[in-house]
Structure 1
Amino acid sequence: MKNKFLTAFLLLFSSLLISGQEHKAKIDSVNSIPYEYIVSNIYKSIEIFSLNAKEAERIGYKLGAAKSYSQLGKAFYLNGKYDASALNYIKSINLFEELNDEKGLVDAYGEFGYQLKRRDMVRANLFMRKGLHLAEKNKYDSLIVSLYDNYGVLKEMENKLDSADYFYKKSLSSKENMKDTIGIPYSLNKLAGIESMKYNFIAALDYLKRSDVFRKKEIGDFGRAENYAAYGDVYKRMNLIDSAIISFKRCLSLSGKNGINFLIRYSYEQLTDLYKKKGDYREAYKNLEMLSLHKDSVLNKEVNLNIAQLEINYESEKKDHDIAVAKLELSKKNSLLYLLTALASVLGTAFFATYKYQKKKREKERIELEYRGKLMSAEMEKKMGDEKLRISRELHDNIGSQLTFVISSLDNIIYVEKNNPFTEKLKSLALSGRETLEDLRNTIWAIRKKEGDLSQIIYKINDLIYKMNLMTPTISFNNQTDQEYNLTSTQLLNSYRIIQEAIQNALKHSEASEIIIEFKSGIDELIITIKDNGKGFDVNEIYEGSGLDNIRHRCNEASGQSKIESGPGGTLITCAFKVK
């Protein structure tokens, strides 16, 4: 009897265990719905993941619930429901942290940081860096590509275009290696945006054409809608207003069918601005009204201010029309004209008062935003300064110490082995080591400087000339500037390297007997010239990687413009820096 009872109990327990495992498998299957389905079926995705989260909570499956909440956060964000999105991401993060699931945390941190970008950039960067740290530590290659993309967006919003370009290209390279046909066009679009912001429109359009090839193969409309928006952005910067309007209307058509609210809002916002540029205030007003219907509460204040301004423009046109009609009927409707004039005066006063109030309000908000931006910039500069100081210490304490040891060792060997035939070669090596150590010290000097005045670089140049004048030709320096200049650390280092490179080129190749270095004042710029009386060369035959190519690169890197002239009478190198 006992054996029969035990057998029945084991059968019942096994069936319940199998049933529970099947239940979890179904929940996991729903959570694995791909991104391309979510963006093309936003409303349906919200319903599916909401039910999935409830079911996971009901059976106590925390991992399934965490993944469902993360997917819900993504769907609500695409639908423009930012508060709901944030709530679900927080639930997801709490569960992943409780489970110590680092892979889940990478995705949740990254997505939550991305959706915070327009409301709290500091926290957005914080969560994004948390995700990047975990992904790089655990080598989650499939997750890190999207983090690179999203982190690039944050850098783009902070106007750090070179950083954004770096992360977008890292993401694109990884996606191409993984043959990620869904992710590749996203990175291409972002790179197109960066090139457009740099006014490299041909490169931007080329990236978008490459993206179109992938978008045409997608099942849903999200990718094609996003590409229309990207084309609209490029055309707008190119001042092709009508082409931009057509692109955003096409984006709006596809986004409206699929409930892609953030693209709907963005299209209305851009159409409003484009019609204002055309002077078509009626169409601008219509699009701004549609924008106010779709924009969330966080951004409605800004929309209402713009509506008030457009109402003034629109009502002003209407009022002018009414006055013109009233003048035509002046003889018959004098009494009505007086009434309309009085009414117009009252309305004008009311609108003017409203306009002044809104203008002050906008100015106050602008000042607050500017203050927050300066505060963030100051914090970032402090962090960069600390990091530069740390790097300079590492260079000094490690590489500097090792070079000093090598030079000292070579000197000892030379002293001991005076008659050894290899002594001359060792002396050459020791000299090269000292030159390298001097270059290292100059680099450390520039890194430690946040900025400096002209006297600091003049001191360095005079020191360089003193050492160079131990050889021929004669090198002289003239400072003809008539004011003080503040130079950045990059300008300090690069101006020194440019002069050093120019002198070395003249010594090696020009057969010059004299080299003249001059500093001159320009309009908001410092002009550096290095002139020699050597045999000259053909400037059209400068090859990439040469010393002159390095001079051009360093000048451009320090926000300057370079010019190289050469002929039988010698060579003139000019670099003009924009300075404070």
Structure 2
Amino acid sequence: MIKKNIFFCFLFLNIGFVNAQDFEKSIDSLKQVYRTAIKIETKIDASIGLGKIYNRSNVDSAMTYFKKAVTLSEKNNLTAKKTESYSSLATSYIIKGKFDSSHYYFDKSEKLLDQATNYKLKTSFYGDKGILHYYEGNIDKAAESFQSALVIAKAENDNEEVIRYSNNTALAYTQLGKNEEAIEIYYDVLKLAESEGDKDHIGKILNNIGLIYENMNQFEEALGFYKKAFQVKKASATQIDIANAYYNMANMQLKLGENKKDSLLVKEAKTNFLNTLSISEENEYGNGKLYGFEGLGQIALNEKKYDEAKEIYIKMDSIASALNNQPIMGVSNLKLGVIAIEQNHFDVAKRRLEKAKEIIEKTGAPKDKAQLYSSLNALFAKEQNYKEAYRYLKLEKEIEEQLSSKNLQDKISNYEVKYQTEKKEKEILSQRADLAEKELSLNIKNTQLIGLVILAIVISLLGYLLFNQQKLKHKQLKKESELKEALVVIETQNKLQDQRLRISRDLHDNIGAQLTFIISSLDNLKYGFKLPDNLNDKLKYISEFTTSTIYELRDTIWAMNKSEISFEDLQSRISNFIEKANKSSEAVTFNFNVDQELKNNKMFTSVQGMNMYRIIQEAINNALKYAKASQIDVDFSFKNRMYEMTITDNGIGFDINQIALGNGLNNMKKRAHELDAEFEVTSVINKGTIIRVFKTKNT
């Protein structure tokens, strides 16, 4: 597909028009000044201002006011005003596509330019003259003119002008295939435009960055930039800029629609081409109409509606000839040549392509040259002239590589093989044609087979090495992750242990000491004063309760001081409790038994250990207080994959169905559930009670 948006996105991007934030208000104000001004210079300025605003929407009205400015400045011999008026009128002729008239007024302005004292007259002249060169297809001269304007703007520290002519220069570089230089300029000037809040140029720069992506065949990225530019332009851009934006989006939608076979995208493209054509016709934008026709013609060509496409391109060629628009004349002839190739009208195709070649090689963009060479390649390939096909394919490849486009080496090799084979066949046929042809075919097959085998081996080896490398890397990362996790766990455990130690010290030093003080104070009261019996009993109860609290506090501190509790720790603590219990019940025998396997391996957390201790403690207290037992056994075992703790007494027992569970049994049951264990009570009258806490697995 031939693209002309590289021209289209440039037109009026950077001509020095006033910023018409409020179009009607600006026109009314300037017309009032024009009618009432006494000074001739003021009247000329108002006339030029009106022309610049109308240049954005109604070129004929713009030319009327520019001509009034020319007449007034010539009549009063005002050199500076004549310079500006001539240049301004020349810009309108660019829009009209009348390049000869534009040159005429630029030449008149240039003769007076050395006398200009206002630097903006010079920057506008060089910038607008560069646009004329650009549309004529003389991109080198256009770049020179933009550079001249940019040098002046930088010397004057005029950021607005720097933005304008940097953008122009970058676009010219894009046209010349200097994408790397262009993109560097675009991103620098985009930052400057954003800092200046210049939305008009932000939209244009985004548009032109999209153009670079388009040149590199990255169409989705290009469409993204074109859409961003369109959103910015909608707020303040001219109708011609809006037409530009529609065309650029349509071009990418069409290209993506072709690649993805997406009919909806193609439909959107057609709508936007029609928008381009409509806006261009309303604003008498001659070149814009040509680009709208070009897009619609391409859709017809893609759909193989050759008669419709041919009619559009013939009309396009006629309009371009009337406007003397050489680049578009080149494109229209190129398109007509493509249609002729598709219809196998090779003589017509050759004539059209030769005419296109004459124009495009002189004034065309790199993309147009690439398409031209691609079409010539296709023509000669169909005529089986592989030597010429190969030559044009090489030229196409050079252009594509210059634009950082796709690699066409495979296609080139294909034509090169055909060309070389044809040449060899002619030589061999003069000697031993049949035998030589078979040998050549066999050699080619052997070479291909060997090449495929070698390629398969290399790919397999590389795949194996890559797999091993990734596997090793994965193992290393896993080890590092496990090490980090272990360090985090250790650090957390250390912090928790420090916290437990601090809390236990506080409990012991503060609360323990205070409870001890309470007991001492109660004893002093009992022995220091003669108190009634009922008060003495009350104080005795408080003292005993406080003493019990101290014991429980010590048990808690014992558990908190340990991050893990072993059976030895648990047995030692229970033994201390049993010794105290023995003092009050000397006739009772206590036994504590632990399986050797559990004793050597099992460790509990401090919470688990405390819960076990409290269950055992509560069970022994119950046996001592209520059961009248003579023997109490505490057993830890591991049987049939079940971990079990039992407290057995030989007391009087009770009927489990005849009594309600008291606080003691309920507390034991809750603590068992906190251990994720089952709780079971079995009691037989006159035989004793068994309290069983067990898990279904050893955890």
Normalised TM-score (structure 2): 0.40
Q: Which has the higher contact order (CA 8 A, sep 6+)?
A: 2
Task: Name the larger-Rg structure.
Answer: 2
